[in-house]
Amino acid sequence: MSGYRTTPKADDDLIESARWICSDNPPAARRFLDLAFATFDRIAKFPEFGPRAQLKHRQLAHIRFCVMSPPFNRWLVFYHVVDAEVVILRVIYGTQNWRGNPVSFFV
């Protein structure tokens, strides 16, 4: 793999999550971002390790996900591979309804 890139939605997710965490615990927000980027690096090295998200829409069949490590293991990282590059689509808190309207959520 040549590496990874994030989408604008994923960047927004990271900013929003870090702000939310920072409101209670600023050092934890930094740890969250560090772990998110470490997770992206791991995905870039082993893109097949995350299971497919099993979304019914054919356009989304290629999307995979992984759970971030503790203590941020309530966040999910959604990604897919395009031309030997991992594209980080979203980084969301697990309670968000991403299955409700997946096309608008991921595209």
Domain assignments of the chain as residue spans, ordered by start: 4-97
- The pLDDT of residue 26 is 97
Predicted confidence band at 1 (pLDDT cuts at 50, 70, 90)?
Answer: low
Say whether 100 sits in a helix, a strand or coil: coil
- The pLDDT of residue 13 is 97
Can you name the CATH fold of 4-97?
YaeB-like fold (3.30.2310)
Nearest to 15 by CA among 40, 36, 41: 36
Q: Which residues does residue 92 pair with via DSSP β-bridges, in sequence order?
A: 76
pTM for the full model?
0.93
Say whether 10 sits in a helix, a strand or coil: helix
Alpha-carbon distance of 19 to 25, in angstroms, equals 10
For the segment 48-61, the average pLDDT, to the nearest whole number, is: 88
